[in-house]
Homo-oligomer: A and B are copies of this chain.
């Protein structure tokens, strides 16, 4: 298990995959993003079957290892175990944090939270970091609950574990998220839909490092 400071640094620029059907294109963008400086990649695919997830996960494991980045799996602890992920990320309706811990031992557990109550509960239950959002409205998850910048700032002040802002984060508003006390930013569209994912990643990483 890495130290909290090391984990905090590794959460600087956190890429979450989108749901595109073309998996070759997906992996190509992830490689470009890693070249640009992405520090963590989360495999999040709600509609893929297990075999597809294992295949994607193994490819992402290989690339993230090559670039010294973290590889996290959303929701599916079995896929995380099979593809040797660094950790698992769960939402409020996924497997409970304590149950995940029982399966994955010392690997990283991230928990999505929106309110301070959810955040302190996740911290108490042994989460290693929090994904907090949506900070801004987002097209990739239009029905997501909003916590806004003030909510993120409140959570970052109250919990000791690193907090990653997520939801509608762009080059324009990334500095605000960092000023609110985030350890890093998580994005989907800002990289996955960028014309140049490598350059977009490099620019976002620069803003994160400047904003700390």
Contacts and interface: CB of A to CB of B under 8 A. Distances in A.
Contact of A50 (B54, B81, B95, B102): B95
Interface residues of A, number: 22
Interface in A95-152: 95-96, 99, 102-103
A159 B50 CA distance: 25
Contact of A49 (B79, B93, B102): B93
Interface in A60-82: 75-79, 81-82
A134 to B, nearest CB: 18
A200 interface: no
A81 B103 contact: yes
A93 B54 contact: no
A94 interface: yes
Nearest to A81: B103
A82 B54 contact: no
Most chain B beta carbons < 10 A, residue from A49, A92, A103: A49
A179 interface: no
A85 interface: no
Given A76-B78, A77-B78, 20 more contacts: A49-B91, A49-B93, A49-B94, A50-B90, A50-B94, A50-B95, A51-B94, A51-B95, A51-B96, A52-B93, A54-B95, A54-B96, A54-B99, A78-B81, A78-B95, A78-B103, A82-B95, A82-B99, A82-B102, A82-B103
